[in-house]
Amino acid sequence: MQRLAQIAKITWAELPASFLRIRLEPASDRGRRQRAQSIGYILIAPIDGNGRIDSVLWRLYHEFCGIIRLRPAAAVETAHLLRKSGRSWAFQFEGDHSENATSHDFITDRFILGDHVSIREESEFHIFEVVSIEPVGTSASSLSQNESSHISVSSS
């Protein structure tokens, strides 16, 4: 209970500076890029100096880490960012309480502007490009009102 009280006092502006808002869009040629902009993910996580998810800060602030899945004409889906054995990461989407969280091998992936990451969707891997990176902690306005309403502090 004391941990929850501490979390409730933290605001976005008080998170470590390494907390970033990373937009991922399908990697494609320029002609297809415009059509694909409404498809993608927004990752909120602490990123280390090598562009990888910082597992130490994730452990301290995991309640603030998450991902938003964006699809045209579909409800926004949110997920918690989970650490799996073997240094891999997974997304646990809201309402999915199965043992099989969607796995994502971010062990070697780096979140650097222009780099690519692979994400498994419905048993197929898709390549996404890091198209924008913004600090979260410096300003709550770096998250749109719609996005910030989907990232919430969990009690787990």
Q: How many domains does the chain have?
A: 1
Q: Tokens standing for 99?
A: 């043992």
Q: Split the chain (156 residues) into runs of 10 and give each run's mean pLDDT.
A: 48 86 83 62 94 93 90 84 80 65 63 90 84 76 47 40
85, part of any domain? yes
Per-residue pLDDT of 14-32, as tens digits, reads 889 999 999 999 987 555 5
Residue 156 forms part of a structural domain: no
Please return the burial class of 91, using the count of CB atoms within 10 Å of its CB with bins 0-12, 13-18 and 19+: buried
Is position 155 within any domain?
A: no
Whole-model pTM? 0.75
Residue 83: predicted pLDDT: 85
For position 80, what pLDDT does the model report? 87
Eight-class DSSP state of 136: S
